[in-house]
Amino acid sequence: MEKQRVLITGGTGLLGKALILTAPENVKIAITHLHEVTFDLPESIDSYKIALDDPLSLVDLVKRFKPDIVFHTAGMGSVDEAEKNKDYAKKINLEILIPIIESLNAINATIVFISSNAVYDGEDPPYTETSEQRSVNFYGELKILAEKYVRENAKRFIIVRPILMYGWPEKGRRDNPFSWIVKKLSNNEPLKLVNDTITMPLLDKDCADVCWKSLHFLGEDFNIAGCEKITFYEFGKAIEKEFGYDSSLLSAVGSDAFPTIARRPKDTSYDISKVQRLLGINPVGVSEGTRYLKETKIH
């Protein structure tokens, strides 16, 4: 049986790495990356250093590799950076989809587009896949427009909306809330964490499992989160407890203690029953997730 050919854009990012680690055996994987690969990439995986502001190189790779599936995880992930550099954010988070989807439609390939909880304004949680999309920042507005473009133009698509994904990042890459908290506490640095914003931390492995299993449901979208609604402070306390850090290092503060360039919603928590029902996946809570990461730490 011929292996399915899978292309992962942003293959060295948190989700890209998790997709590689959870991939089924019957796939041939290629990845694109902007930064150098600093983890042990299996020899069977082809890697290509391609920036999203170079669409011709990406389209050329699609023509040569001929993927059956593309997990499009790459893009500008910083909400504040998108607010500061709107033209560039629009170029790589929205306009890049035009040549990508044209090239995928030509070979009848499926795009799994990774969106975000930023498409919701936080005023009416919990959010389901049919909830109205309104964003409070430019990053979320771009995700709404990108989803619309995918739905209206891609022949074969799936949309996945993670929320606050966490895990061990590749060495030298941007921290996520989990790795940032671990880094601070392991250095015995006092840490203030927000206690008035609700989130549902999502283990990267659970997100990757959803992405792979979603392939059986073309045209669907999935809101994916961990199973617990907690504050960032409570997330930090769970990490501190599991890793045995000094509990006196953590203190709770209001979100106004951290002025940001872009607005943030207060509560974009999800109803994840669709993922549980259709995909048979029950994402873990923070205690189980942080325990898993402690047991699997390799650097």
Element (H, E) at 222: strand 221-224
CB 253 within 8 A of CB 297: no
Domains and CATH numbers, the chain: 4-165+203-225+270-284 (3.40.50.720)
Distance between CA atoms of residues 239 and 257, nearest Å:
22
- pLDDT tens, per residue, the chain with 299 residues: 688 999 999 998 999 999 999 999 999 999 998 877 656 777 889 999 998 888 999 999 999 999 999 999 999 889 999 999 999 999 999 999 999 999 999 999 999 999 999 999 999 999 999 999 999 999 999 999 999 999 999 999 999 999 999 999 987 778 899 999 999 999 999 999 999 999 999 999 999 999 999 999 999 999 999 999 999 999 999 999 999 999 899 999 988 877 787 788 899 999 999 999 999 999 999 999 999 999 988 54
Element (H, E) at 213: helix 204-213
Residue 170 pLDDT: 83
CA separation, residue 239 to residues 17, 69, 289 (Å): 22, 35, 9
Distance between CA atoms of residues 129 and 159, nearest Å:
10
Residues in the chain: 299
How does pLDDT run across 116-137, given as a tens digit for each residue? 999 999 999 999 999 999 999 9
Residue 51 pLDDT: 87
Q: Minimal CA–CA distance to 4: which of 24, 22, 21?
A: 24
206 Cβ partners below 8 Å, 6+ apart?
A: 224, 226, 281, 283, 284, 289
Distance between CA atoms of residues 226 and 76, nearest Å:
23
Distance between CA atoms of residues 61 and 138, nearest Å:
30
Exposed, middle or buried by CB within 10 Å (0-12, 13-18, 19+), for 130? exposed
